[in-house]
Amino acid sequence: MTCFNPECQRCPRLVDFLGSLRKPYHDYFCAPVPAFGDVMPKLLIVGLAPGMHGANRTGRPFTGDFAGVLLYQTLYDLGLASLPTSKHADDGLQLFGVRITNAVKCLPPKNKPIAAEIHACNDYLQQEITCLANECQLLALGKIAHDAVLKSYGERLSAHVFSHAAAHTMPDGRTLFDSYHCSRYNTQTRRLTPTMFYDLLAHIDCLVNINNKSMLGLGDKS
């Protein structure tokens, strides 16, 4: 097993879809998107899959599309990112104590991977988690990411019900935290508000001390 294969061909539908995009979007990344962030994180954030005009364009998770707006602004507010926005892969953005990945590494049609694709990509996620230090905790953005993390552990989905701000203990002692996905739909409908997301990340930071800054008050908005 390997954490990432930039030339992965496991999913015929995704391979064909990315291939169909390379000519009309010749300057897009259009390939499996690697994880981004601190190489020794205390928090691994797991999203769903690359967005068409976001990570699929830029080659970096949650970069260049609406879904990353709330995520990176919140990380910046907590002192976990060097910039409040993530626009392109060479913008100099750094993450501190945080790493971001996706349950599915390739862009799926209509942003909806099928079960076989989530399954095919799951051992990459499993190895990503296994390679982390024991003190690194997990945050799933949305139910699909939540289920993918549970699958990587061989856990029954019914034993850990997804709910915003819920926390689940994994077999290796890590905690899996849940959040609604920071998608345009969730933020515009107010299912997920900036305050809700900030409060959850601040709570995790308080528990984990993600960048060794909490004790200095650098994670405090006031």
Q: Is the pLDDT assigned to residue 118 strictly greater than 80?
A: yes
State yes or no: pLDDT of 216 exceeds 90: no
Structure confidence at residue 213 (pLDDT): 57
pLDDT for the residue numbered 4: 86
Average pLDDT, the chain: 94
Cβ density class 42-81: b for 16+ within 10 Å, e for less: bbbbbbbbbbbebbbbbbbbbbbbbbbbbbbbbbbbbbbb
Q: Looking at residues 126-139, what average pLDDT do you find?
A: 96
- Position 3 scores a pLDDT of 80
Map out the domains of the chain with their CATH numbers.
12-216 (3.40.470.10)
Residue-wise pLDDT tens digits, 148-198: 999 999 999 999 999 999 999 999 999 999 999 999 999 999 999 999 999
pTM: predicted TM-score of the whole model, two decimal places: 0.94
Which phi-psi region, left, alpha or beta, contains residue 42 (left: φ > 0; alpha: ψ -120 to 50)? Answer: alpha
Calculate mean pLDDT across residues 12-31: 98
Higher pLDDT, 186 or 4: 186
pLDDT of residue 220: 35
Q: Across residues 127-139, what is the average pLDDT?
A: 96
Beginning with the edge strand found earlier in the chain, give each strand of the sheet holding 137-141 in spatial order: 36-37, 98-102, 43-47, 137-141, 175-179, 167-169
Beta strands in 90-220 (DSSP E): 98-102, 137-141, 167-169, 175-179
Residue 205's H or E segment, with its range, is helix 194-208
Average pLDDT over residues 214-221: 37
Q: Is the pLDDT of residue 16 over 80?
A: yes
